[in-house]
Amino acid sequence: MGSGVAWATTPNPTTYDHMVPASGVGSGTFTVNITGLPFNTKIYARGYATNGSGTEYGNEINFTTDNIIANVTGYIYSQTAGSITYLSWNINCSTPGVVPVKFGLLGAAIGVTLKYPDHVIFQDNANSFPIIGSTYPPGLPANQRGFVVTNVGVTLLD
């Protein structure tokens, strides 16, 4: 016997989609906190109660989660030491729930407006903040800008 909330990104969610059980056992009103929902997504939810006869569902509601703006800070820059040019980075994010996927450098001729993914000259995968490191990519152009791709979008670094 149990109760809680079933949710999904499609109508008519069931306990086979996602479920958040209510704490405690019994009948009556309950409250649950649903966490970890995807950003900027329409969610369908409804209460459920299960007993020996099966599961019954309440009325469905829907809402759209907020679109999170990631507070990503840091830098990616190139530096020449003698005849060797290297790329260094130090990137962090203070927004809870934001996870990096890729980071890298955009580059093109002076005067070109740099865009992701059109002007990617270096990129690598990432899965947590902070992202710190360096490499020695060949032939970096003078017009450069760092970027980070996260689970909520692309951030261009200043």
Tens of pLDDT, residue by residue over 33-76, are 888 788 888 999 999 999 899 999 999 999 998 877 788 888 88
At 45, phi and psi to the nearest 5? Answer: -145, 150
Mean pLDDT of the chain: 87
pLDDT at 125 over 90: yes
Residue (of 155, 102, 105, 150) closest to 126 by Cα position: 102
How many residues does this entry show for the chain?
158
pLDDT at 25: 63
Q: Does the predicted TM-score (pTM) go above 0.85?
A: no
Lowest-confidence segment of 14-23, 52-61, 77-86 by average pLDDT = 77-86
pLDDT mean over 85-108: 88
pLDDT band at 127 (very low <50, low <70, confident <90, very high): very high
Left if phi > 0, otherwise alpha if psi is -120 to 50, otherwise beta: which for 144?
Answer: beta
